[in-house]
Amino acid sequence: DLGVTFKTVAERIYSFGIGGRFLFASVMAGSGNVMPSASEDMIRAIHVSVDKGETWNMAQLPPVGHEQFYSILAANDEMVFMHVDEPG
């Protein structure tokens, strides 16, 4: 329908990508503060879906801060190879 209808599959997404059969979302969350006051207080974690966003699982990767990143280096239908940037 050329975008006339759409469905929200996730919220607070910093970025997303597709690799193989996997849909990835870098999801923003507070660093433990109830009300984070600045971007420095935000962390991101990777969530993964294999059913086009119907269900999500948190990847077993460390969370990253505002100056760090995740990078999908390779992916196929069975596995993903990712880089997690170190602080600093």
The per-residue pLDDT for range 38-76, each reduced to its tens digit, is 556 789 999 999 999 999 999 999 999 989 999 999 999
Percentage helix, strand, coil, to 5, in the chain?
A: 5, 45, 55
pTM above 0.75, yes or no: yes
Which band of pLDDT confidence, cut at 50, 70 and 90, is reported for residue 32? low
Phi, psi of 25 (to 5 degrees): -140, 130
Number of residues assigned to the chain: 88
Percent above pLDDT 70 for the chain = 89
9, two tokens = 């599959």
